[in-house]
Amino acid sequence: MKKVFDLEDLDCANCAAKMEEGIKKIEGVIDASVNFMTQKMMLEAPDEAFDKIIKQVVKVCRKVEPDCRILL
């Protein structure tokens, strides 16, 4: 499954790159991208594990950019 999420309050391109790097390290993630300019995140992961993975993605994003919210 591939989904695109809007991001809120992502403040810098460097943070977006760190978030993307961290998300790609999560077990089960097929592909991910975080775009600072469009404030969007694309996540591709298996359907059966998507809910579990998205919870880990939220944790990674909060660790890098505490004010950033993923609009699920």
In CATH, what number is assigned to the domain containing residue 11? 3.30.70.100
42 in Cβ contact with 30 (< 8 Å): no
How much is the pLDDT for 41? Answer: 98
Amino acid (one-letter) located at 33:
S
Distance CA 60, CA 26 (A): 9
Quote the number of domains for the chain: 1
Collapsed DSSP state (helix, strand, coil) of residue 38: coil
Q: Which domain holds residue 21?
A: 2-71
For residue 12, what is the DSSP state?
A: -
**Sequential pLDDT tens for the chain (72 residues):** 999 999 999 999 999 999 999 999 999 999 999 999 999 999 999 999 999 999 999 999 999 999 999 998
